[in-house]
Amino acid sequence: MVNSSGPQRGSDRTGGASASTRKCTQHCGAMSAPAEDARRVFAETFGGDEPHIAVFAPGRVNLIGEHTDYNGGFVLPMALPLITVTVGSPRDDGKICIVTTAQGADEPHKVEFETPSVDRPLTPGTPKWANYVKGVIQHYRAGPIPGFNAVIATSVPLGGGLSSSASLEVASYTFMQQLCQDDGDLVQKALACQKAEHTFAGVPCGIMDQFISVMGREGHALLIDCRSLEVKPLPLKDPKLSVLITNSNVRHELTGSEYPTRRKQCEEAAKALGKLTLRDASMEDLEAKKENLSEVCYRRARHVISEIERTTKAAEALENGNYQLFGKLMVESHNSLRDDYEVSCPELDELVSIAVEIPGVYGSRMTGGGFGGCTVTLLETSVAERTKQHIQVTNACDQINYPEIGQICCLQWNQPTVCCVRCLTNVH
């Protein structure tokens, strides 16, 4: 299986997975289950043949730096061992047939269409999940692309705020690279996947999700400058430190009006401040020209400007092993997202409140675009199990009619690779 992630800079010839990736794929259920599912469905759908190509790309969790990427700011995500797998084989009749096994994907789960040409480009349509793949095919940076059969499987929860869409796009692009090699430029690969989401899925996202799925490094978070696209890897290998991801099971959708509205409000605020982007603005600039902004645009700008500052401080804290400060900044980030950016929801607020009650939890916040999805919690490894149990019990006793909590995933670094993930599935 070919891993989409590669060196930080240079070309991506996708020759094959590293030894650590192969080992992880063989021994970690979170990595191998989607591959086995995809291969099984491929054989069932396409006459028992084994696929010639198998690739994967990771989802991500953003530790801090939310809604800053499309404002030219900083983000601090890490790639996850939750992955999207694409398996398939070329065909010689100019047709493309794709099947998804993803739980929650809209119907139909099988699509067939002709390969694109100058006179016959692909266009978005239904089902929605296929638009992400079509967009990547249309914007792929080499060609012509032959016909192919493919099956997609994923362990990244759809609508969970863990970048299932970027994982699908990057896996699709990596699959295209095996059919028709491009120049291997990693940055351009991420940008092509972002363009696919803009034009075919209708989401004006920043570059973070595609960038971390392409560039993610094992055992590291990446501080990404979303203006210059420079990357600084930050080691996450302290065995005493864990990251807990809790799925609220409130599925978020970014293709509605709220996400584009937030981006437009940020652009309006930057213009009122006389700045190209909010990355260029300070809190002093914002306060000085507060009267030029609507109350809503003022609060949106206040979140972005303060979040960019929090992210750079958090990166420094992580480098210095100051987890207390990092956790404090996470909670401040959540409060800002809840109050100023207004993208949280009661379920996420409750999960954050429950988590921070436990001694040994440094901090917690919503992660992803918002309106549902997951929380991310930084905590001592020694209290990880207790925290998971506390979340389960408290949620079960809550009188509010919340959906059942989904997967709780704890990433720990007392094992050789970040891909050693322990998950509690179907938590009630």
pLDDT of residue 396: 54
pLDDT of residue 26: 38
**CA–CA dist 260, 277 (Å, integer):** 16
Least confident of 83-87, 223-227, 366-370: 366-370
The pLDDT of 383-408, averaged and rounded, is 67
Find the Cα–Cα–Cα–Cα dihedral 315, 320, 323, 326, rounded to 10°.
Answer: -30
pLDDT of residue 185: 97
Residue whose pair of structure tokens reads 């807990």 in the numeric block: 244
Predicted model pTM = 0.86
Least confident of 98-107, 334-343, 413-422: 413-422
Least confident of 102-106, 171-175, 331-335: 102-106
For residue 382, count other CB atoms closer than 10 A to its CB. Answer: 10
The pLDDT of 198-220, averaged and rounded, is 94
- The region, left, alpha or beta by phi > 0 then psi within -120 to 50, assigned to residue 266 is alpha
- pLDDT confidence bin for 360, thresholds 50/70/90: very high
- pLDDT confidence bin for 10, thresholds 50/70/90: very low
For residue 107, count other CB atoms closer than 10 A to its CB. Answer: 8
Chain centre distance of CA 148: 27
Least confident of 7-16, 64-73, 140-149, 334-343: 7-16
DSSP 191: H
Sheet-wide strand order for 421-424: 361-367, 374-380, 241-247, 408-412, 421-424
The pLDDT of 53-62, averaged and rounded, is 96
* pLDDT at position 21 over 60: no
The pLDDT of 82-92, averaged and rounded, is 96
The tokens of 162 are what? 């863990």
- Best-predicted range by mean pLDDT (24-28, 197-201, 369-373): 197-201
Count of alpha carbons within 13 angstroms of residue 296, beta-carbon side = 9
Active site positions, annotated = 209
Using N-to-C axis directions, what is the helix angle for 29-45 and 19-27, rounded to 10°?
80
Higher per-residue confidence, 31 vs 348: 348
Residue whose pair of structure tokens reads 């099956």 in the numeric block: 151
**CA–CA dist 249, 142 (Å, integer):** 39
Say which residues have a Cβ less than 8 Å from residue 67's Cβ, sequence separation at least 6: 262, 266, 303, 304, 307, 337, 341, 343, 369, 370
* pLDDT at position 380 over 70: yes
pLDDT of residue 13: 37
pLDDT of residue 414: 40
CB 57 within 8 A of CB 109: no
- pLDDT confidence bin for 24, thresholds 50/70/90: very low
| Residue 58: strand pairing partners | 83
- pLDDT confidence bin for 294, thresholds 50/70/90: very high
Least confident of 2-6, 124-128, 309-313: 2-6
The pLDDT of 4-28, averaged and rounded, is 36
Average pLDDT over the chain reads 86
The pLDDT of 344-349, averaged and rounded, is 93
Say which residues have a Cβ less than 8 Å from residue 287's Cβ, sequence separation at least 6: none
pLDDT of residue 1: 61
**CA–CA dist 332, 348 (Å, integer):** 14
Residue whose pair of structure tokens reads 């209290």 in the numeric block: 383
> Nearest Cα to 69, choosing from 207, 266, 263?
207
Residue type, 340: D
State which H helix or E strand residue 21 sits in. helix 19-27
* pLDDT at position 46 over 80: yes
- Please write the tens of the pLDDT for every residue from 244-288: 999 888 876 655 678 899 999 999 999 999 999 999 999 999 999
The pLDDT of 317-331, averaged and rounded, is 97
Higher per-residue confidence, 23 vs 251: 251
- pLDDT confidence bin for 382, thresholds 50/70/90: very high
- pLDDT confidence bin for 403, thresholds 50/70/90: very low
Within 204-247, residue ranges assigned H as helices are 208-215
pLDDT of residue 253: 66
pLDDT of residue 332: 98
Percent of the chain clearing pLDDT 90 (strictly above) = 75
- Please write the tens of the pLDDT for every residue from 167-187: 999 999 999 999 999 999 999
pLDDT of residue 394: 80
**CA–CA dist 326, 254 (Å, integer):** 28
* pLDDT at position 161 over 90: no
- pLDDT confidence bin for 120, thresholds 50/70/90: very high
